[in-house]
Structure 1
Amino acid sequence: MLANQLAPALARRGIHYGWVMVALTFLVSLASAGAMGILGALLLPLQRETGWETAAISGALALRLLLFGLMAPFAAALLQRYGLRRTIVVALSLVLVGCLLSMRMTVPWQLWLTWGVLTGLGTGMTALVLGATVANRWFVQRRGLVLGMLTAANATGQLAFLPLAAWLAQHEGWRAAMLPGLGACLLAGLLMWLFGRDHPAELGLNAYGDTAATIAPRPAAPAGNAVRNAFAALAESARSRVFWILFATFLICGLSTNGLIQTHFIPLCSDFGMAEVEAASVLAMMGIFDFVGTIASGWLSDRYDNRRLLFWY
């Protein structure tokens, strides 16, 4: 209802509703990535309170990262089958439930369930696939820029909340440090449910840049089981050499940045005498440059061969 009222008002001002979807998706990606990213800043405070070994805590974070990546093809199938709004609300609910339950955990297996399984599944459903889906559904022109913006939200959100989380963990405890990210997830889910739409045709629009005289109908949802469809798409992609090249590229990037640096950078700095808040600020600085670089990459991808860009990156 709210989207049906807002879209014509924006159209009279020359603003396509696709940009509202970009803003909503940006907030969703930023919030879910932030809720995931702050867990690395809580490793030392949690260890001091519980006495659990570093291997047990970082193992749960490794499981979270593994599920974050493995969920991508299934997230795409769920987005196609059930739509943006329902999938996003379920995903953010998993993140909220996982983080809230973790505040009462007393044994390591509960850490693996909450920080590992629930947050891993939830954040994986709102990762890069979500940005690509919004860019392809709502935009014909400027897809690269839009995808760059939404990818930047996902990457930067994992680092942007770190200084605040480290400060709160130091002064108020690690449970309080989780609250800003959870509040952002709750707000993002509510706004997406109220204003989000799955396809431009629902608002009587074509995608941004589509100059066709008639409104393109909303494509039918794929028939069959979403999990089976995801495996079928993976089997088809696995026959492509380009798929495996991109797979290896993103595997190395994710393992080094999200896996090692994001999780262990603050404890490493602490071993060398740097305060946790200062170490988190250094890590957040990476997020600032990541934000600029990712948006610039999206802008460049609209103008140059993506293969050559990736080679130079």
Structure 2
Amino acid sequence: MVGVALGLSPLPFYTIGMFAPELAKAFGWSFTALMGSVGVQSLVVMASGPAAGFLLDRWGARRVALWSLGLFGLCFMSLGLATGNLWFYYGQWVVMSIVGAGTLSATWTRVVNGWFDRHRGLALGVASTGTGLTGFLIKPFSAWLIGEFGWRVAFGVVGALPIIIGIPIVAWLLREPPVAGVAGADVDAAPADDTGLTLAQAVRSRGFWVMAGAFLLIAFALTAPTPNMENILKTKGFARMDIASITAAFGLAVIAGRLIGGWLLDRFWAPGCALAVLMVPALGSFLLSHTGVTHPQALFAVVCLGLGAGFEFDLLAYLIARYFGRRNYGTIYGCFYTVIALGGGLGPVVYGRAFDVTGGYGAVLLGGVGCLILGGLLLLPLGPYPRFGGEGEAD
């Protein structure tokens, strides 16, 4: 949970909305350019994510996580050294996205999947609440740092969190399951789990491409509103304090989405569960697409989006473990993170561009509704969970 909270996925994502106005004021950058940093991160992760998954399957999660947390923290701190050169700023995001790939959810879900089976969904949900904790706490903390000490110091303090909090706790507590069938095995070694598909077998399966298409749409629709949330609410006429109170609920909703989603996945067929749950953020996007949104309606819509965002990565981790097994979980998850990164990277940029062109978000939010519904429907052909034989082929 701590590793998830302090990794590459939540920290830049949940703080860019706080830093963007300061950088725009300091350097005159457009909102589209600032949201482009999220797109840069996503494009780089499309390559670094699978590479990190490859390292996970060979070196183990603990070693990868410790190195990646430290390097990611240093790179995030370096954002406070921005000079006004947009390409230099993008370059910082490129390096951060390479060295921080080991802090992505594949690292943490790999360990959880190795320890849990019957209550795997709930265990994934509990571990993944780290994202919601970050979403709930980091925005007001960053706002306070920026107000008291300026945005440069704020970058430094936030970037130090993975180093001074993440590394000690991960070094102390993170342990992987022992090697199967070997008494007294080194728990720091990557577990030798031979059940499931190889990457080649997974790629040749129909389910792999079904899931890829579904999560491209889901990631686009769930990721896009988050960094644009403050500006979406601003276009609805809400004051700054109202916006702060409404968006604070997002992080708590993400936590609830993690736990509720994990509990549901343990009890119901995952694709059907996904379609039902994704209707909730679809409703949130639909409400925000209209003018004249009241405070209670906006709060309800943001909570709906948070519930969906909390469910997304639990669902992905659960589906990969159930449909492809754990034999090459890290590598396969890294490939799917490429899809997540593509959809998630395009979303904020498309939404930001829509605002620059039209001055609003109504049309793209309705598009997000369609993506969520279609993405949920695409998962239904996955069928029942397979059973894997000794050679990894599904029975």
Normalising TM by the smaller chain, what interval?
0.7 to 0.9
Question: What are the Cα deviations for residues 149-195 of structure 1, in whole angstroms up to 9, with x where unaligned?
Answer: 22332355345411222343244322233355334311111221233
SS of match in other structure, 2:57: helix
1:192 aligned onto 2:167: no
**Alpha-carbon distance in structure 1 between the residues aligned to 2:226 and 2:97:** 15
Which SS does the other structure have where 1:178 is aligned?
helix
Matching residue of 2:227: 263
CA distance, structure 2, for counterparts of residue 157 and residue 306 of structure 1: 26
User: Which deviations, in whole Å up to 9, do the C-alpha atoms of 1:8-51 show, x marking residues without a partner?
Assistant: xxxxxxxxxxxxxxxxxx10111124422212321111110111
The separation in 1 between residues aligned to 2:136 and 2:203, in whole angstroms, is 32
Distance 1:156 1:69 in 2: 25
Instruction: Provide, for residues 205-256 of structure 1, a one-character-per-residue CA deviation record: whole Å limited to 9, x for no partner.
Output: x8xxxxx9x8485698699xxxxxxxx9554433222222322332223223
Q: Name the residue aligned to 2:114.
A: 137
Q: Report percent identity of matched pairs.
A: 24
Q: Which runs of 5+ in 1 are unaligned?
A: 1-25, 207-211, 224-231
Which residues of 2 match residues 121-270 of structure 1 at below 5 A?
121-154=98-131, 156-158=133-135, 160-186=137-163, 187-200=165-178, 215=183, 217=185, 234-258=199-223, 260-270=224-234
Query: Structure 2 length as normaliser, TM-score?
Result: 0.59
Gaps in structure 2 of 5+ consecutive residues: 278-395
Cα shift at 1:296: 1.4
Provide the alpha-carbon RMSD of the alignment.
3.1
In 1, distance between residues paired with 2:90 and 2:216? 22
* C-alpha contact 1:85 1:193 (8 A) present in aligned 2: yes
2:266 equivalent to 1:289: no
Structure 2 CA distance for aligned equivalents of residues 74 and 281 of structure 1: 39
1:79 matched residue in structure 2: 56
SS at match of 1:198: coil
Q: Does 1:30 align with 2:5?
A: yes
Corresponding residue for 1:18?
A: none
> Which residue number in structure 2 is paired with residue 302 of structure 1?
266
The 3-state SS of whatever aligns with 1:103 is helix
- The separation in 2 between residues aligned to 1:166 and 1:272, in whole angstroms, is 22
SS of 2:176's equivalent in the other structure is coil
Give the letter for the 1:108 counterpart. Answer: L
**TM-score normalised to structure 1 length:** 0.73
User: 1:49 corresponds to which residue?
Assistant: 26
Q: How many residues are matched? A: 268
Q: Which amino acid aligns with 1:298?
A: G
